Structure 1
Amino acid sequence: MPVIQSEIDSHGEAFAQNRDAMLAAIASFRDVEQKVLDKAAEAKPKFIKRGQLLPRERINLLLDSGAPFLELASLAGYKLHDDKDGTQAGGGLIAGIGYVAGVRCLVIANNSAIKGGTISPTGLKKSLRLQQIAVENKLPVITLAESGGANLNYAADIFVEGARGFANQARMSAMGLPQITVVHGSSTAGGAYQPGLSDYVVVVRGKAKLFLAGPPLLKAATGEVATDEELGGAEMHAQVAGTAEYLAENDADGVRLAREITGLLPWNAQLPTRPAKTYSEPLYPAEELLGIVPADAKKPYDVREIIARIADGSAFLDFKNEFDSQTVCGHLAIEGQPCGFIGNNGPITPRGAAKAAQFIQLCEQSNTPILFFHNTTGFMVGTESEQNGVIKHGSKLIQAVANCTVPKLTIVVGGSYGAGNYAMCGRGLDPRFIFAWPNSKTAVMGGAQAGKVLRIVTEDKHRKAGNPADPKMLDMLEMATAQKLDSQSTALYGTANLWDDGLIDPRDTRKLLGFLLDICAEASVRPLKSNSFGVARL
């Protein structure tokens, strides 16, 4: 396979400027992550006094030491709803994919160190996305539960759609995906059904509380007076109601039981033997990924420079480059796993759309996963493009992206604008996973363009009415529109709204893709023992 010869001057001024801008973007989102950790750490004295571990301490005990762990949507909800300063980012949940007793699992913990682990509308959206990931990738789910339930300030935004999470749990059990829940503290009202719908439930003595109505509500509704323990204590659920299968003495013991349950499932034994892969590392260091994408979005670059730093041996077989050079398609491998690749060296032209649609169909035919690397202003516009059928060919491309069934992994490395976001398998086209570099921007169009469009439309409207628009008003309208769109196109804004599954350091791109491709490959060969209704406690 041809090997890419890099033309980047890693010692040049432009590279240094790009690198500095990227490092600043990385520092920006890492600072937010640290603020969330610091906020949770403030609760440690309270947890120690109660004889409990912090949620992240529980996760650390659960996961296999030294094994990889990919945190998901860590900044979901950033500065949304009640999160005024960004310290509550995460939607009340800590989640990711890691290994427990040698089994790759989806791990979820209520972040009860911040606002009692209450769930915001973004937290609900995140939990539904996590369930989608578990289903698509056939991952067992382990939940470390302790939550005050829905944030009542947003109850109307959560209540109806919240039922979808319970329906998903029931269907996951019927699929044959094991769900293990350790209840470390309060799990009340609708939240009580989360462990109830799990296949295995561990409760912590003296700490776990599961009830549909707590003592205050019970007294108000019926006049009955009862204690927490009588209504929903750990011993009651383990010894009387039968909701729980295992009774733990403390948080650490509950985590131990979850690990033992996971380890006793013949999960890995059911997999067919997968051949060992051998591969070469890229010829160029990942460190150089920091300086490739220009800090100035108007400056062009060759996406093959990224490929050279993520592909095995920096090898890449271009597909129909002479037919269209702005949409880059071709074959490469990541850690020995063959992939198709689609990236951008400019707008998507009619020929580029036709080329990419054909390439996707070929990947579907050969069962080859596809990597989408976004850096596009969208589809080419103008008379020539329209007459050459950009709508027709663009529609074919979106059809191909939407209907292909092979794993689609998306990385937003620069701009992702307009329908180019759709054609390159943005969130709405359901990629198996989607991550973004911290310099990336996602929007219907650039802020400056939007401002000018609205100015022109408003000016024309006033002219037709015979009332010329005030130039100062038009200036303010243009500026306000541009500022609004620019503020809503940043990587932090996108990840806060779950337009991606998380922000990543560009240097981790190859390692991330190798991990994700292995998850997809394992899911494709994993048999599941399904049943009609899921496992119920009778």
Structure 2
Amino acid sequence: MPIIQSQISITSKEFLANKEAFQKRVEELHRRRGEVKLGGPEKARELHKKRNQMMVRDRIKPLCDPGSPFLELGMLVGLDLHNNELPSGGFITGVGLIHGRRCMILAHDATVKGGSYYALTAKKHVRAQMYAWKHRLPCITLVQSGGANLPEQPGIFPDDGQMGSIFYNQIMMSAEGIPQIAIVHGPSTAGGAYMPALCDEAVIVREQGYMYLGSPTLVEAATGEIVDAESLGGGEMHCKVSGVTDHLAENDSHAIAITRDIVERLGNKPEMRWQVAEAMPPRHDPAEIYGLINHDHRIPNDTHEILCRLIDDSNLQEFKPHYGDTLICGFARIMGFEIGILANKGVLFGESALKGAHFISLCCQRDIPLLFMADVSGFMVGREAEQTGIAKHGAKLISAMAAAKVPKYTVVIGGDYGAGYLAMCGRAFKPDALFNWPNARTALMGPDQAAMVLAGVRQGIYDREGNTWPEDEKEKYKQMVRDDFDAFANAYNFAAHLWSDDILDPVETREVLALHLDIAGRCPAEETRFPVFRF
């Protein structure tokens, strides 16, 4: 039995120092999650409650089956951006269980800028839709939106992937038989009105939910007609006159109950296509990972020790363990789900890349999902590496990874730089989900390397012009570059811009991955077709 044997002393000074430093990161993560879960400013929250409306997260909870998990995506979107006035992008997305059926729930937070759309809001909405489309999840949209935030026009209106794509995705998913259901919880204008209108079924709350392409104020300004909100776009009107909505609810709770009834009657639920074994805990406590992550981010982590605390029974059937050993490849289970793991243990050499490509092809043939655990400075450079074909071998790994049609997940557990980030299934290569641990750092290169490169370029300009660059000014410039790259690489920066789906506490990783695998396993398998490989 290929059990990973831990060689770490959990009472050593180094372990305890790492653990203390990482616990502070975890505490910060949970504190920041708590802050964004509050929603908009206190004044907006109080006004919302005064109108006898449920807060957005309080709407989601009863919509889901009691005691079931809500797999939230993009919770930290907008963090530290827009003066911190856009928590979660003003929009909550995630997968919940409704009458035993996995559904994508998309919900406006009306306490955040009236539920209006910023560029990040639209990006998050589209990201959630694409996840739902790929996994054929019914979409339940809890609508209460003022539509487009006009000053954000460049980021929400003209291009693919913005607000127009939200409507396109709704239409095309419906055409493919993926149910689209909406609840109109409050005033929903313009784009906010199109969303429920484009759904298969729509519920609206009496004397609370309103939907119109132009508000009463806009109608008066444009046409001179004076009209009240109820006759222009209220629940009674839309259910009895226009026919735009299908079900009239008395309040938020009633609307949620109606929606649960609709979901209950969506037909047969998709079946699991894989054999899932009984879940077994790792032989070592996952919380010990805190002491394994080096508090100096420039030092790589011991990936075997981390895997020992992440996979079922610490059991890893390693593939080619004596070849290309800077990339660990192996078969394991996470909460009973079989998975193929590619985990960095140093810089990527040609042999590592060949091994990774070979392993990916095995997983594709066997319909085994892939997990990329990224902690890599990139590919090896230098004359020997180039002469032995590092470019073509790296291309094989990237091509195999990109073409693989099995579910793919990426967890950045350390530094993830340059082409190494791309090869380990970075965001551009469309993993089903990408997560960072709180210590994760991702960039074109590390801060020190960037400072050296850019200072070298600038020094060359001084030399060509026959000028001298004073050492103190050079060091000041290099520190500015370090600071810029350091801020960019931060895991919170990636989460805020939705370049990752979330930051995970390492002890959450097993459960989160298992929830994603459970969703992926209920979709039909896809055939992988590999491109031409350069041999």
Q: In 2, distance between residues paired with 1:405 and 1:326?
A: 25
Q: What is the number of residues matched between the two proteins?
A: 522
SS for the counterpart of 2:89 is coil
User: How far apart are the structure 2 equivalents of 1:14 and 1:439?
Assistant: 17
Following superposition, the deviation at residue 87 of structure 1 comes to 5.2
Report if the CA contact (8 A) 2:117-2:149 is conserved.
Answer: yes
| Correspondence 1:96 to 2:97 | no
Cα deviation 1:135-162 (Å, max 9, x = unaligned): 1111111111111122222123211231
Retained in 2: the 8 A contact 1:32–1:87? Answer: no
The reply to whether residue 135 of structure 1 matches residue 133 of structure 2 is yes
Aligned residue runs from structure 1 range 73-472, under 5 A: 73-80=74-81, 82=82, 84=83, 86=84, 88-160=86-158, 161-268=162-269, 271=271, 277-472=277-472
**Residue identity matched to 2:116:** T
The answer to whether the 8 A contact 2:25-2:439 is kept is yes
Deviations 1:398-436 (A, max 9, x none): 111111111101111111111101000011110011111
- Following TM superposition, by how much is the alpha carbon of 1:445 offset from its aligned partner in structure 2, in angstroms? 0.6
Worse-superposed segment, 54-63 or 37-46: 37-46
In the TM superposition, what whole-angstrom CA distance separates every residue of 1:353-400 from its partner, at most 9, and x where no partner exists?
Answer: 111111111111111111000111111122222222111111111111
Distance 1:213 1:44 in 2: 25
Assess, with a 3 A threshold, how the Cα gap between structure 1 residues 456 and 124 changes in structure 2: closer, same or farther. Answer: same
**Comparing 92-101 with 247-256, which one deviates more in the overlay?**
92-101
Q: Which residue of 2 aligns with 1:529?
A: none
Residues of 2 paired with 1:89 and 1:45: CA distance? 17
CA shift in 2, pair 1:26/1:501, >3 Å = same
Q: What is the aligned partner in structure 1 of residue 533 from structure 2?
A: none
Task: For residue 218 of structure 2, give the secondary structure of its aligned residue in structure 1.
Answer: helix
- Paired letter, 1:308: C
DSSP-derived class of the 1:332 partner: strand
Shift of 1:499: 1.2
SS at match of 1:488: helix
**What is the alpha-carbon distance in structure 2 between the residues aligned to residue 493 and residue 301 of structure 1?**
22
8 A contact 1:417–1:442 mirrored in 2: yes
2:187 is paired with a residue whose SS is strand
Give the superposition deviation at 1:48: 2.9
In the aligned structure 1, how far is the partner of 2:299 from the partner of 2:472?
32
In the TM superposition, residue 40 of structure 1 has moved relative to its aligned partner by 4.0
Q: Which moved more, 1:277-286 or 1:502-511?
A: 277-286
Q: Is the 8 A contact 1:248 1:254 kept in 2?
A: yes
| CA offset digits 1:93-131 (Å, max 9, x no partner) | 111111112211111110112221222111111111000
- State the shift of 1:41 in Å: 7.5
2-side partners of 1:191 and 1:52: how far apart? 18
State the distance in 2 between where 1:212 and 1:334 align.
48
Over aligned residue pairs, what C-alpha RMSD do you find? 1.7
Tell me whether 157-166 or 366-375 shows the greater mean CA deviation: 157-166
1:466 deviates by 2.1
What CA distance in whole angstroms lies between the structure 2 residues aligned with 1:358 and 1:199?
Answer: 44
The 1:275/1:391 distance shift into structure 2, 3 A limit, reads closer
Give the conservation status (yes or no) of the 8 Å contact 1:97–1:107.
yes
More deviation, 339-348/274-283: 274-283
Output the amino acid matched with 1:353.
A
Shift of 1:467: 2.3
Q: Which structure 2 residue ranges, 5 or more long, are not aligned? A: 527-535
Residue 257 of structure 1 aligns to a residue in which SS?
A: helix
- CA distance 1:63–1:3, shift in 2 (3 Å): same
Q: Which amino acid aligns with 1:266?
A: G
Deviation (angstroms), 1:32 = 1.9
Conserved? CA contact 1:35–1:87, under 8 Å: no
Q: Which residue of 1 aligns with 2:59?
A: 58
| 2:510 is the counterpart of 1:513 | no
Q: Percent identity?
A: 39
User: In the alignment, what sits opposite 2:530?
Assistant: none
- C-alpha separation in 1, matches of 2:275 and 2:478: 58
Q: Name the SS of the counterpart of 2:332 in structure 1.
A: strand
Contact 2:370–2:408, Cα closer than 8 Å, also in 1: yes
Report the more deviating stretch, 337-346 or 384-393: 384-393
Aligned counterparts of 2:273 and 2:444: Cα–Cα separation in 1: 46
Distance in 1 between the 2:120 and 2:456 partners? 36
Structure 2 match to 1:26: 26
Deviation of 1:519 after TM superposition, in Å, equals 1.0
Bigger Cα displacement from structure 2, 273-282 vs 138-147? 273-282
Q: How does 1:474-493 map to 2 (within 5 A)?
A: 474-493=474-493
Runs of 5+ unmatched residues, structure 1: 527-538
Tell me the TM-score normalized by structure 1: 0.94
Q: Per-residue CA shift, 1:452-490, capped at 9, x if unaligned?
A: 111111111221222233333322221111111101110
Task: Note if contact 1:271-1:525 (Cα within 8 Å) is conserved in structure 2.
Answer: no
**Match of residue 535 from structure 1:** none
The residue matched to 1:524 in structure 2 has which SS?
coil
Name which of structure 1's ranges 467-476 and 490-499 shifts more when overlaid on structure 2.
Answer: 467-476
Farther-moved stretch of structure 1 (209-218 vs 238-247): 209-218
Q: CA, structure 1 residues 368+14, in 2 after alignment: closer, same or farther (shift >3 Å)?
A: same
2:376–2:416 CA contact under 8 A, matched in 1: yes
Q: Answer whether contact 2:143 2:185 (CA < 8 A) is retained.
A: yes
- How far did residue 345 of structure 1 move? 0.7
* Contact 1:272/1:525 (<8 A) preserved: no
* CA apart distance, 1:294: 1.1
Question: Shift in Å at residue 274 of structure 1?
Answer: 6.8
Question: Match of 1:118, as an amino acid?
Answer: S
1:525 is displaced (CA, Å) by 6.5
**Following TM superposition, by how much is the alpha carbon of 1:272 offset from its aligned partner in structure 2, in angstroms?**
6.8
The answer to whether the aligner puts 1:36 opposite 2:36 as a matched pair is yes
| d(CA) in 1 for partners of 2:296, 2:49 | 49
Please state how far the C-alpha of 1:301 moved relative to its aligned partner.
Answer: 3.3
**Aligned partner of 1:90: which letter?**
S
State whether residues 459 and 469 of structure 1, in contact with CA within 8 Å, keep that contact through their aligned partners in structure 2.
yes
SS in structure 1 at match of 2:434 = strand
Take 1:313 and 1:352, find their aligned partners in 2: how far apart are those partners?
A: 26
C-alpha change, 1:38 and 1:135, in structure 2 (3 Å) is closer
CA gap of 1:521–1:273, structure 2 versus 1, over 3 A, is closer
Q: Is the 8 A contact 2:397 2:423 kept in 1?
A: yes
Amino acid of the residue matched to residue 101 of structure 1?
H
Letter in 2 for 1:481: V
The residue that corresponds to 1:532 in the other structure is: none
